[in-house]
Structure 1
Amino acid sequence: MTEEMNMDEVKEYGEGAHVTGVVTKVEEKSVTVEIAGAPFDGVIPISELSSLHIEKAADAVSVGDELELAITKVEDEAYVLSKRQVDAENAWDSLEEKFESGEIIETEVKDVVKGGLVVDLGVRGFIPASLVEDHFVESFDDYKGRTMTFKIVEMEKEKNRLILSHRAVVQAQNEQKKEAALSEIQEGDILDGTVQRIASFGAFVDIGGVDGLVHISQISHGHIESVSDVLKEGDEIQVKVLSVDRDAERVSLSIKDTLPGPWENIEEKAEVGSVLDGTVKRLVAYGAFVEILPGVEGLVHISRIAHEHIGTPQEVLEEGQSIQVKVLDVNPQEKRISLSIKDLIEKPQEAREENFSYEMPEETTGFSLADVIGDQLKKFQK
């Protein structure tokens, strides 16, 4: 304070008064300010500089800064001042309006603390870990200094309590995307998607803000035991929209409908005369159905199972059995394939002998076969 100041210009300030001060000195734990018209300077303790914890005063202010301050105490020809108190008073009214309107606030993350993030909105704002993202975050270390958007979800001025959420912003944005996507998706559309989650009954696929379900029966033309045998989270795939229920926000999808059908070019994949590996799928009275390609089954008629006569296919085969078959006929129009097992099995000795001509025993009576037949004919002629 200059000694030349006219005594008429000197103003007396009491506790609670708001003043404007200019920073003249910045020390590690305090700041000195000159207050226009005051008889002496004021001091701001480091704890009163910000609503957040700071290590040194220079982190918050610099020499020459003009600050709005509140006098908290007058002692020893000095004013004890608070910047934090004025900032909070100015902030609460604005924050209350933002809370009531649901306005989105954009601000910088000032600190990462145990349990969440901290921002400075004139008052200390806290974002619990559970309200940072809409997914699990293992570490928030790289969030400090990041500018993010928030909504106020809880506030109590009396307790100086301000809780914010970034997750609420993300969820609101996702809901808007979902509504827009649902209005555009049509049955029959072929879309790109990303596998989001695997379940025992199918896979949930993100198709641009909307999660649709691919039932396990719609994943492949062939039978699959487990969804995870075919898909994993993060897979980029194509899907066909089977149905859209906008009221229930449900979309049914198919992967197999985007793939070539199992019977496409079947005559090339299962040429007549070729030998293929197969699996017995069903046994019926008239034969066995064998899967020779994913989604393609052929029939081995009971007469083509074994060389010897069998009463039922179960006498020779069982469901799930791996076998080799020969392709006898292919009818792509009717989606029928005729197969044979016995054509790949060597005919037993006794079966071969059944086809031989009748032979006379090595020991003979001296009569020829013609003689024997001739004698028999003579008996009928008498």
Structure 2
Amino acid sequence: MTEQNNELPELQVGTTITGKVIKVEEKQVLVDIGYKTEGIVPIGELSSLHVEQAGDVVNEGDELTLKVKKIDDDEVVLSKKAIDADQAWVELEEKYKSGEIFETEVKEVVKGGLVVDVGVRGFIPASLVETYFVEDFSDYKNKMLAVKIAELDKDQNRIILSHRAVAEDEAQAKKGELLQSLEAGQVLEGTVQRITNFGVFVDLGGVDGLVHISQLAHKHVEKASDVVSEGEKLKVEVLSVDMDNERISLSHKNTIPGPWSDIESRFSAGDTVEGTVRRLVNFGAFVEIEAGVEGLVHISQIANRHIGTPQEVLEVGQKVNVKILDVNENEERISLSIKELEQEQAEKEYKQYAKDEDQSGFQLGDFIGDKLNKYK
């Protein structure tokens, strides 16, 4: 290809040639293609992406493979974009068929998603960027993202890519590994993700487990939101793992001291405490003396007199003073008595009465004695 003329008979539109960049102007590049006439690569033919200046894509001295786009008199218009696209489409079709994951750079943030360079212009819709909602995509510019091809149509020049699919695959793989590593009895820390009327879902680092409302605290919980809040770190114990259904049952209650823990250091036989009647049964009354700690007042210990049922004397919600008869931490049992307090009170009142009587008697005797002395 050394013939020197202005007609350039060897060149045809669609021909692939190589050339060397000899001049980079703002909006075009001049290329030595071995002919008297230099080839011109307009800025729009340098890349499938928007280019501000030709120097952003090529430099003087670069060797380029180009396709002839137009031959007009002494002007030869060439395209780098066309060669890049041909090669890119071959590679993209292979990646699409194999489901390959590859990295690409975000070139532009546009309305509705991200523009990337995959040899041709590729697009990642906003819904396929992440597994979660993104308010502002400005931080994604120039960022490398791992993607899979979601849709490919060469005739329409349409390439849709997804980073979300990659993130979901990674999350699923991580979830599987985590599920395999979990076993009953493990104590972990997680983050409260979601609160429902039946409990809370806790993220253990890629997989959620359920803490049923009955496993949130040792005391009765009406609403889970009374005990925990979304985003809170929570220590939990694994109760069970259902691999087939990917369900994990957790307990927060098992990781915190129970109300009966170290109970004997707080309550001793002989102590008098105030409590609230929580339940009445035919053999007595259960009285709560501390959150989650109920003791039994046997029916024989309710009153000094004989009663047929506890309801004759007590009602649920009533505040009562009780005397502790016995504390057993291992069996989580406390025996209480109301009768003994009544007896003690009665004895105290009787002694006070007797004392008052004695004092009153001595005063009367002294008075009578003084009067008698006067008559002597």
- Same fold, TM-score > 0.5, yes or no: yes
The answer to whether residue 179 in structure 2 is matched with residue 182 in structure 1 is yes
1:238-280 deviations in whole A, cap 9, x for unaligned?
3222112211122211122222333221111333454556444
The answer to whether residue 80 in structure 2 is matched with residue 69 in structure 1 is no
Q: Which residue of 2 aligns with 1:121?
A: 118
What is the rounded CA distance, in whole Å, between the counterparts of 1:56 and 1:278 in structure 2? 83
What is the rounded CA distance, in whole Å, between the counterparts of 1:319 and 1:293 in structure 2? 16
1:286 Cα deviation (Å)?
4.3
The answer to whether residue 292 in structure 2 is matched with residue 295 in structure 1 is yes
What is the rounded CA distance, in whole Å, between the counterparts of 2:195 and 2:242 in structure 1? 21
2:37 partner amino acid: F
Equivalent residue in structure 2 for 1:227, among 217, 221, 224: 224
Distance of aligned partners of 1:122 and 1:316 in 2 relative to their CA distance in 1, 3 Å threshold: farther
What is the rounded CA distance, in whole Å, between the counterparts of 2:201 and 2:302 in structure 1? 43
1:25-48 deviations in whole A, cap 9, x for unaligned?
3333x2222232234122222222
Q: Which residue of 1 aligns with 2:21?
A: 23
Tell me if the contact between 1:34 and 1:40 (Cα under 8 Å) persists in the aligned partners. no
1:158-210 deviations in whole A, cap 9, x for unaligned?
11111111111111112112222222222222333333322221222233433
1:94-127 deviations in whole A, cap 9, x for unaligned?
1111111111111221111111111100111111
What is the rounded CA distance, in whole Å, between the counterparts of 1:320 and 1:132 in structure 2? 57
What is the rounded CA distance, in whole Å, between the counterparts of 1:343 and 1:59 in structure 2? 95
1:26 partner amino acid: V
1:300 Cα deviation (Å)?
3.8
Tell me if the contact between 1:200 and 1:227 (Cα under 8 Å) persists in the aligned partners. yes
What is the rounded CA distance, in whole Å, between the counterparts of 1:73 and 1:275 in structure 2? 104
Q: Which residue of 2 aligns with 1:249?
A: 246
- Counting only pairs closer than 5 Å after superposition, residues 72-87 of structure 1 correspond to structure 2 as 72-87=69-84
Distance of aligned partners of 1:334 and 1:43 in 2 relative to their CA distance in 1, 3 Å threshold: same
Distance of aligned partners of 1:70 and 1:318 in 2 relative to their CA distance in 1, 3 Å threshold: farther
What is the rounded CA distance, in whole Å, between the counterparts of 2:278 and 2:324 in structure 1? 17
Q: Which residue of 2 aligns with 1:205?
A: 202
Q: Which runs of 5+ in 1 are unaligned?
A: 360-382
Tell me if the contact between 1:11 and 1:38 (Cα under 8 Å) persists in the aligned partners. no
Q: Aligned-pair RMSD on alpha carbons?
A: 3.4
Stretch of structure 1 that moved more, 339-348 or 284-293: 339-348
Q: Which residue of 2 aligns with 1:32?
A: 29
What is the rounded CA distance, in whole Å, between the counterparts of 2:296 and 2:53 in structure 1? 85
Distance of aligned partners of 1:137 and 1:291 in 2 relative to their CA distance in 1, 3 Å threshold: farther
1:180 partner amino acid: E
What is the rounded CA distance, in whole Å, between the counterparts of 2:74 and 2:229 in structure 1? 73
2:261 partner amino acid: E
Distance of aligned partners of 1:26 and 1:297 in 2 relative to their CA distance in 1, 3 Å threshold: same
What is the rounded CA distance, in whole Å, between the counterparts of 1:109 and 1:346 in structure 2? 86
What is the rounded CA distance, in whole Å, between the counterparts of 1:42 and 1:342 in structure 2? 112
Stretch of structure 1 that moved more, 244-253 or 117-126: 244-253
What is the rounded CA distance, in whole Å, between the counterparts of 1:278 and 1:75 in structure 2? 103
2:268 partner amino acid: E
What is the rounded CA distance, in whole Å, between the counterparts of 1:220 and 1:162 in structure 2? 53
What is the rounded CA distance, in whole Å, between the counterparts of 1:75 and 1:222 in structure 2? 89
- Counting only pairs closer than 5 Å after superposition, residues 278-317 of structure 1 correspond to structure 2 as 278-301=275-298
Tell me if the contact between 2:21 and 2:32 (Cα under 8 Å) persists in the aligned partners. no
Q: Which residue of 2 aligns with 1:331?
A: 328
What is the rounded CA distance, in whole Å, between the counterparts of 1:136 and 1:323 in structure 2? 56
Q: Which residue of 2 aligns with 1:90?
A: 87
1:330-351 deviations in whole A, cap 9, x for unaligned?
23243222345688899999xx
Distance of aligned partners of 1:290 and 1:116 in 2 relative to their CA distance in 1, 3 Å threshold: farther
What is the rounded CA distance, in whole Å, between the counterparts of 1:314 and 1:139 in structure 2? 66
Tell me if the contact between 2:23 and 2:31 (Cα under 8 Å) persists in the aligned partners. no
Tell me if the contact between 1:15 and 1:72 (Cα under 8 Å) persists in the aligned partners. yes
Distance of aligned partners of 1:324 and 1:227 in 2 relative to their CA distance in 1, 3 Å threshold: farther
Distance of aligned partners of 1:164 and 1:17 in 2 relative to their CA distance in 1, 3 Å threshold: same
2:331 partner amino acid: E
The two structures have a TM-score, normalised by structure 2, of 0.80
Tell me if the contact between 1:13 and 1:38 (Cα under 8 Å) persists in the aligned partners. no
What is the rounded CA distance, in whole Å, between the counterparts of 1:236 and 1:326 in structure 2? 40
Q: How many residues align?
A: 351
Stretch of structure 1 that moved more, 308-317 or 109-118: 308-317
Stretch of structure 1 that moved more, 136-145 or 92-101: 136-145
